[in-house]
Structures are given as C-alpha cells and as structure tokens.
Structure 1
Amino acid sequence: MSADPPLLDNPRSDRVGSIRALGRRAARDRHDRFLVEGPQGVRELLRHAGHRAEAVYLTPEAAARHTEMEELARAAGVHLQRSTEQVLAEMADTSHPQGVLAVATRMHVTAEQVLADLGPDDFVVVLANVRDPGNAGTVIRGADAFGAAAVLVSTASVDINNPKVVRSSVGSLFHLPISTGTPLSELLSICRDAGLRLLAADGAGDTALPAVDLSGPHAWVLGNEAWGLERTTLALCDEVVSVPIVRAESLNLAMAATVCLHASSAARHNG
C-alpha cells in the first residue's frame, strides 16, 4: 500500500457502478459481495472479519478523521482506496455514507455448524420470516449485545446483507455467527436436535416472560413484524412467551426481542 494512493474520482467508472449495484439483492447473489457503509461498520469488519473485507473506500477527509482505518486495513491486508465524496455518494446506498465504505464477501455457514459447539448456558435467536431490514439488523445488534451464541435466519426472511440490515446492526453482523437459507420448520428441528428449548415470543403467549425458566440452552423464535408467528410454528415450540406491558397496545419486533434477550442475559449473570 503506497503512502499516497491515487484518488478515485470518476463516479461513472465501471468499478463505481459495480459497487453501487451491490445495493440490489440480485447483484449480491451474483457476486457474493455486499456493502458496508459508515465508519463503525467498516471498523468492525476490519477488526473482527478482516479476511472478508475486499476493499475499503474513504474520502481524504474521512481518512484524516478516522486515522485508525488505514492501520486496520493494512493489518487485514485489505486494499484501501481514497475516493472523492461524489464517488462515495454514487457507490453508497445512503445519501450520506459518512465518507467510508467497504466491499465484503458474504459468510456461508449452516445452522448445524453454528450450533455444533453450544455451551450449557448458550442461547440463540431464530428469525422466522422477518422481512423488515431495520428490525433484522437491530435484533442482530441486540443478540450481540446480550451475548447470544448465534442468529439463525429462516428462508423467506430479509437478506442479512441488505444495506439497511448491515447499517442497523452497527458492526454486530461481524461479531457472531449467522446462518441463513434454511426453511423454518427444518431450522426448528435442527435447534431441537442441538438440545435447545424453543421459546416463541408472541403477545398472546400463555406464559409471561418473568415466569419463564431461562436456564439451559434455548432459542428465542421471533416472528414476522405484521403477523407474528404462524400457528404451526407456535405448535412446534416448547413455550409461547408474552412480554408483559402496562399501557401500550404492543411492542414491535425489535423492542420485544431486546426485552427477551436481556432476560436471557440476566438469567446467566444472576444464576
């Protein structure tokens, strides 16, 4: 890496166009790559999954502001390219990418691999047909924050490499194993075979969260934002758990997930 690399300044170049295309799922599927936007996400990519980083693009202003970025890129053996603000804006999915963007390779890991080495106190998250990218990314961030061992994403859920999912996870996407591409019924069967109790989070659940036994390995099964979990899915779970609320009509998916994951984490630390 040269001390003063040339500036990428043509927003209509083929390279810029190919990176911009990664905002679409078809291009991500075709090239097995995705975008990481913003200094926090790129920083966590380089620190925790540097082998998956293909290139980092940043403006001279961002390079001066985030001086650690070049050192992290060098340590990971990743190409770092100075680019104009216009080029960054053209490549990014957002209007204001904060001067930093990276291209990363997708992670491919099966549910069986993710669950192979579960500990006696581990818990995981299952996203069942979750479609909203902001919710999915926030749940991944919560799973990371509260110490979940993994996140398992069913087919028919949002692509976890969707730019909004990546941004909403704020780097947590690179901190814990995430499995995708398994049908929900099969995913629940794999969890059960791995010794996990299946806890469905549902507002109509018969068991209130404070009464749930959260000892031992378990999986929180979280449903679609609009219709929740289907009856057939609820029937496959060991318990259907509701989060008690005082006045609001309901909690959205990300809020309910945060409460459930915090309860699992607290049970570990207080047990």
Structure 2
Amino acid sequence: MLTERSGRVVAAVKLHRQVGRRRSGTFLAEGPNLVEAAAARGLVRDVFVTEAAWDRHRSLLAAQQAPTHLVTERAAKALSDTVTPSGLVAVCEMPSTGLDDVLLGSPQLVAVAVDINEPGNAGTLIRIADAMGAAAVVLAGHSVDPYNGKCLRASTGSIFTIPVVVVPDTYAAVTALQGVGLQVLATTLDGETPLDEADLARPTAWVFGPEAHGLPAEIAAKADHRVHIPMPGRAESLNVAAAAAICLYQSARASASSPEPGV
C-alpha cells in the first residue's frame, strides 16, 4: 500500500499547485463523479484509492484501464484538497483542445469569461455553458486555472464534456471569434441593448467579466454590441455565473425556436 512518502504520491501531490499542473500537463480529479467523467474521455493516467473507497466504488474501479494504486488514509488526505477526502483520486491528462480547434467546428454559441479569478464561479459557468449547449468556454485574460480542484468540483464533470480553453490574450480571442462569423455580445451594466432586444438567433459569443470590475473598456468596445440584463429589483449587479445563466439560456431558447436553414 502506498504511503504519503511514496514517489507516485509525492509526484501527484505537486499537482495541487498550478505550476505543477502546467509543467506536467496533468491534474488531479477527486471523487467518483469526476474520475468517471475523466475516464470516459480517456484522460486518466493513474488512480489512487483507499481500501474503504475501493469497497464503495468497486464497479467504477473495475472498469478502469489506468493503473490503480491502493493508498493509506493519510496518503489520500495528502492527495485531497477537501475537508473530507473521498479516498478516490485520479491523475488525469489535460485535454489538448485549443481555440483553433473550437473555431474549426463552426460554433454557434461560445461563453467567454474574462479575468474570472474565483474558481467556484468559473466552474459553475462551465456547467451552465454545458447545460445550455454551448460549443466551448473560453477562460480569457487573467482567469483561474480550470483544473483547480474547486473549479473542477463546481463544474460537476462538465469540464470533461465541453471544451474549455485558456487564452491569455482576450482581445485576440474576441478577434478570432468575430473572424469566424460569431457576433460578440459583451455584458455591461450600461449596455445600449436590453437582453430581450438582442438578436440571439445568430451565432453568438457572450463575453462576461467579473462582477467587481466588469469588462476591460477595450474589450467592451471591441464587442459588436453591449448588452445589459434588465433588473427591476434593488440588486445593482449579478455575479458572472448568474449573468451567464440568464444570457446563455436566452441564446439556447432563441436557437431552439429559430427555423432551420432553407425552411
């Protein structure tokens, strides 16, 4: 049984830090839901499991093709970044999808999150985009690493079912999206277009900024339209996940109700 001092465990623990993930091209997925979702994509390299977790997840582990290693409870705690470790952690490869790959697929709906540094919000946005049928999520500018443990958990596995790409240059990302025919709609509090008046039947890339500071001025100006969400209540703003839920839902509705080409 592997202890917290074993070479494999020590190497895996380094993946709690972004620098370790970036250098190795791997990350940790904890818990049966994330491990199963990663395995379905063929991304799992190694699995670490305690005896107790083995008993709980026999069917899942029996289907694993990656090497499986029994670990002590102490080692499982070192591999976990949660208060109550699940006893099941996998080392996974990062998907290799880039923005160019997304654009080649003629996307109809893309969510772009700019300078989002709260992993829970980023993960929730990924989950919402997946639920609303978006083709991809772009984490632009100084956004959180999507393979941060909290972001992974907040995505509830959607990070393995929708492409999530990281693009440090937000302006270049917006330019590329416009270059393949997507209209870019920026969400701003002072947007000239109310959400219910926006033409959402067109292929669209929504651009969301952090609640505290909003979008950089040059990115808002680069968008084809600046859109605001009418809020008749007293709240002054919405966090990025809430705004994304409203806007992406409206786009999904518009897409579902628009006639097929040639009809």
Task: Return the TM-score normalized by structure 1.
Answer: 0.89
2:104 counterpart SS class:
coil
1:103 counterpart SS class:
strand
Q: Which of 216, 236, 240 is the equivalent residue of 2:202? A: 216
2:143 counterpart SS class:
coil
1:81 aligned onto 2:69 = yes
**2:53 corresponding residue in structure 1:** 62
Aligned length: 257
Q: CA deviation at 1:60?
A: 2.5
For residues 87 and 189 of structure 2, the distance between their equivalents in structure 1, rounded to whole angstroms, comes to: 41
1:135 aligned onto 2:126 = no
For residues 124 and 148 of structure 1, the distance between their equivalents in structure 2, rounded to whole angstroms, comes to: 5
Identity, % of aligned positions: 37
Per-residue CA shift, 1:128-172, capped at 9, x if unaligned?
Answer: 121111111111111111110011122321111112111111111
> Contact 2:142 / 2:168 at 8 angstroms: preserved in 1?
no
1:98 counterpart SS class:
coil
For residues 204 and 66 of structure 1, the distance between their equivalents in structure 2, rounded to whole angstroms, comes to: 51
Per-residue CA shift, 1:225-250, capped at 9, x if unaligned?
Answer: 42110111111001111122232222
Q: Which of 34, 37, 43 is the equivalent residue of 2:27? A: 34
**2:261 corresponding residue in structure 1:** none
Q: Which of 192, 195, 204 is the equivalent residue of 1:206? A: 192
> Contact 1:153 / 1:179 at 8 angstroms: preserved in 2?
yes
Where in structure 2 are the equivalents of 1:136-155 lying within 5 Å? 136-155=122-141
Return 5+ residue gaps in structure 1 as ranges.
1-6
More divergent stretch after superposition (62-71 vs 220-229)? 62-71
1:256 aligned onto 2:247 = no
> Contact 1:130 / 1:225 at 8 angstroms: preserved in 2?
no
Q: CA deviation at 1:24?
A: 0.6
Per-residue CA shift, 1:183-223, capped at 9, x if unaligned?
Answer: 01100110011110001112222222111111121101011
User: Which amino acid is 1:11 matched to?
Assistant: E
2:35 counterpart SS class:
helix
For residues 203 and 59 of structure 2, the distance between their equivalents in structure 1, rounded to whole angstroms, comes to: 38
Q: CA deviation at 1:270?
A: 2.7
Structure 1 residues 88, 225: closer, same or farther in 2, change over 3 A?
Answer: farther
Q: Which of 80, 83, 90 is the equivalent residue of 2:78? A: 90
Give me the CA root mean square deviation: 1.6
Per-residue CA shift, 1:82-125, capped at 9, x if unaligned?
Answer: 22322111111222232221111112332121111115xx2001
> Contact 1:111 / 1:182 at 8 angstroms: preserved in 2?
no
For residues 204 and 85 of structure 1, the distance between their equivalents in structure 2, rounded to whole angstroms, comes to: 53
Where in structure 2 are the equivalents of 1:1-271 lying within 5 Å? 7-8=1-2, 10-47=3-40, 49-50=41-42, 52-73=43-64, 77-118=65-106, 122-247=108-233, 248-271=235-258
User: Which amino acid is 1:187 matched to?
Assistant: A
For residues 254 and 58 of structure 2, the distance between their equivalents in structure 1, rounded to whole angstroms, comes to: 40
